[in-house]
Chain A
Amino acid sequence: MTQLATEERVVPRRGLLHRLDVKGSPYLYIAPFFLLFLGFGVFPLIFTAWVSLHDWSLLSEEHTWIGFGNYTKLFDDPAFWNALWNTVSIWVLSTVPQLLLALVLAHILNQRLRGQTFWRMSALIPNITSVAAVAIIFSQLFGRDYGLINWVIGLFGVDKVDWTANTWSSHVAVSTMIIWRWTGYNALIYLAAMQAVPKELYDSASLDGATSFQQLRKITVPAIRPTIIFTVIISTIGGMQVLAEPLLFGGNGLTGGSDRQFQTLALYLYEVAFGRFDFGYASASSWVMFLIIVIVAAINFGITSRLRRS
């Protein structure tokens, strides 16, 4: 009885520390991320908004308040709309084939293969190569006079294509680089999800005589639908921010071709900020770009969550 009494007396003090530990520690553990996010995420975001309301040259000491002047100028700017259109076009041209190819690739990697790990690791190699190296090699491949691709299509009697000169051809070329870099990466994400699909489903499907493609369509895709939705959203956000590929594809200059035919939003932003040092205008366009990404991601989410329910 006395023993019990002393224990009871001790409990409140130990309990306080214990409660503090249980309730407080998780916040301590997650704090570093949120602090970094505050410093490198939220602060720049708010500061950019502040800058976007000024006539703010990178080199000048004076920053004049101009309210929403940069934004009205931006909406009147044909170069901005052109960049937006290019971005959407390149995004569609790259994301759709990329995810379809990734799905097929993952399906093949999911089979019993000799040297399985080797093939799976290889799928990631394009992604770990530097984007600059990829862009430089691809611009050589797509060269007008000495490019490998023009040489190959020349064998079939097709005329040489001046890849950088036209809108469609430059979009195809830029999209090819993105597809090359990201297909394997998405394939591995799909593969990870596919591992969780019960093997028995495939076994019984095989017994019923379903082909590999039918299995992919009827079993795999429905089973990994959440993962597909995830990759669609991630690729969308990535696709809205494409910069290095069109920048390096053109060889030189920030305008993305002689007629801005492959200048993406991010590249236009870069031109304004670091070509003309006009940080106010660049900040305004980066905020608009941010809003566009949010809207596109929301639409994406709306469509895909409806798909998920169906």
Chain B
Amino acid sequence: MRRRFTAVVPIVAAALLATAACGSDDGDSQAADDGPVALTVATFGEFGYKELYAEYMQLHPNVKITERITKTEDHHKNLAAHLATNTGAADIEALEEGWIGQFTAQPSKFVDLSEFGANDIKAQWPEWKWKVGTSKDGKVIGLGTDAGGMAMCYRSDLFKKAGLPTDRAEVSKLWPTWEQYIETGKKFEAAKVPGAHFFDGPTVMYRSILGQAPVGLYDGDNVVVDSNPDVKKAFDLSAQAVTSGLSARAEAWTPAWNAGFAKGTFATLACPSWMMAYIQTQAKDATGKWDIADVPGGGGNWGGSWLTVPKQGKHTKQAYELAKWLTAPEQEVKVFQKYGNFPSTMTLYGDPAIKDFKNPYFNNAPVGEIFSKSVTTMKPQYLGPKAGDINTQIINGLTRIEQGKQTPDQSWQQVLTDVKALL
């Protein structure tokens, strides 16, 4: 008797739990195309879409858009978990350049946007931007939003104190190459400006130099960290800048770094276009102190995102329509002028709305012109699925040099071992 009883209880309770779980079925799975549609858009950082959502909802009264913003890293991790469990993903999910390779390698989780006619608007984007958003077997996974482009941000007030030129054209002439950038840094340090060093730290510099190479960490499917001279060059130059004592030792994206923007603890910082928005929020009171010159070594790219439509969404067609609208040239101009994210839609680069745009915060620097030049002259680079982790190991190596724990040679050897362990 007792044995049977104990066996029955869990079954009954389990059945109760199961029926309770069934109670929360969503009613709108059968919604027609023109019926009310609720769309969620999940992004990270600042996409500058808030005003656009309002505009879109006015144009499409049946659509209701909810936005979900998470920190970049968490955003991509959450998405991976949502895709793995086939539940919880937003209708539109943004992907960042450093992560997109991992996701386009699994195209079955996303809607092939060419089914909705995405190929018709292909001409909006430069070839490389389109390619990164496409899977190996030709499925269109993501539509490009912004692009990085490269420039060099500098503090003209600190340059003045150090006796260096402050005009952006003259500053650009100081560093046609990264070697000359380091030489300028030595001059800056020699002037001993109190509380300030020449650059923030090795992370941003390394990523910027690497972003200028035609081939980065991956050559096709192969990781070429140990054999690609351009990776070693990016490492060596950053290490050299550190060992020359130019670094303010403010590790990127830490509170010390954030404080450094406002306090002026570093005089230069390599600037992808999205960095402008970051500087403006960190150093609100420094209007006119920061300025923008050309980046050493010519054009390059760092950053940029895509909008994707996961398959598990209920309204994939409407989600595509929204993504298409958000990435259309007219909308990208609005985002650029308000937030500084540089569009990846090529048709715009000749447009006066972009080309002639000057940013008052950066001493009216012609940012439209600077970044147009940078993006059009850049050599797009393929970022493989593990690019993010490999870069972490390399940046850790540079940090060890900065912390005085290893020489550049020791550090590079350990980087190679650490990278091998990842593969």
Inter-subunit contact B102/A59 (CB<8 Å): yes
**Interface pick from B30-38, B75-83, B301-309:** B75-83
Q: Is the interface of B mostly helix, strand, loop or mixed?
A: helix
Inter-subunit contact A276/B81 (CB<8 Å): no
B255 close to A (CB within 8 Å): yes
* Least CB separation from A60: chain B residue: B106
B108 close to A (CB within 8 Å): yes
Write out the residue numbers on chain B whose beta carbons fall within 8 Å of the beta carbon of A144: 249, 256
Partner of B389, one of A60, A259, A275: A275
Q: Is the interface of A mostly helix, strand, loop or mixed?
A: loop
A146 close to B (CB within 8 Å): yes
A306 close to B (CB within 8 Å): no
CB of A256 to closest CB in B, whole Å: 10
**Residue of A28, A252, A274 contacting most chain B CB atoms (<10 Å):** A252
Inter-subunit contact B421/A77 (CB<8 Å): yes
Write out the residue numbers on chain B whose beta carbons fall within 8 Å of the beta carbon of A77: 421
How many of chain B's residues have a CB under 8 angstroms from any CB in A? 43
A157 close to B (CB within 8 Å): no
A258 with B83, Cβ < 8 A, contacts A143-B256, A276-B386 known: no
Inter-subunit contact B80/A58 (CB<8 Å): yes
The size bracket of the interface on A is 35 or more
Inter-subunit contact B255/A251 (CB<8 Å): yes
A203 close to B (CB within 8 Å): no
Partner of A253, one of B81, B392, B400: B392
Write out the residue numbers on chain A whose beta carbons fall within 8 Å of the beta carbon of B403: 162, 165, 258
Inter-subunit contact A24/B5 (CB<8 Å): yes
Inter-subunit contact B84/A24 (CB<8 Å): no
Inter-subunit contact A251/B405 (CB<8 Å): no
Write out the residue numbers on chain B whose beta carbons fall within 8 Å of the beta carbon of A143: 255-256
Give A1-45 as 1s and 0s: 1 = Cβ < 8 Å from B's Cβ atoms: 000000000000000000010011001100110110010000000
Give B143-163 as 1s and 0s: 1 = Cβ < 8 Å from A's Cβ atoms: 000000000000000000000
A274 with B77, Cβ < 8 A, contacts A28-B9, A251-B254, A252-B253 known: yes
* Least CB separation from B257: chain A residue: A251
B190 close to A (CB within 8 Å): no
Write out the residue numbers on chain B whose beta carbons fall within 8 Å of the beta carbon of A146: 256, 259
Complex Cα gap A60–B404 (Å):
40
Inter-subunit contact A165/B10 (CB<8 Å): no
CB of A12 to closest CB in B, whole Å: 14
Inter-subunit contact A23/B2 (CB<8 Å): yes
Identify which of residues 190-206 in chain B touch chain A, using a CB-to-CB cut-off of 8 Å: none
* Least CB separation from B252: chain A residue: A252
A86 close to B (CB within 8 Å): no
B22 close to A (CB within 8 Å): no
Write out the residue numbers on chain A whose beta carbons fall within 8 Å of the beta carbon of B6: 24, 27
B238 close to A (CB within 8 Å): no
* Least CB separation from B422: chain A residue: A276
Write out the residue numbers on chain A whose beta carbons fall within 8 Å of the beta carbon of B405: 165, 258-259
Inter-subunit contact B13/A31 (CB<8 Å): yes
* Least CB separation from A252: chain B residue: B253
CB of B396 to closest CB in A, whole Å: 4
Inter-subunit contact A259/B396 (CB<8 Å): yes
Not counting A35-B14, A165-B403, a sample of 18 additional A-B residue pairs whose C-beta atoms are within 8 angstroms of each other reads A23-B1, A24-B2, A27-B6, A28-B9, A31-B10, A32-B13, A59-B105, A79-B421, A144-B256, A145-B249, A145-B256, A251-B253, A252-B253, A253-B392, A258-B399, A275-B77, A275-B388, A275-B389
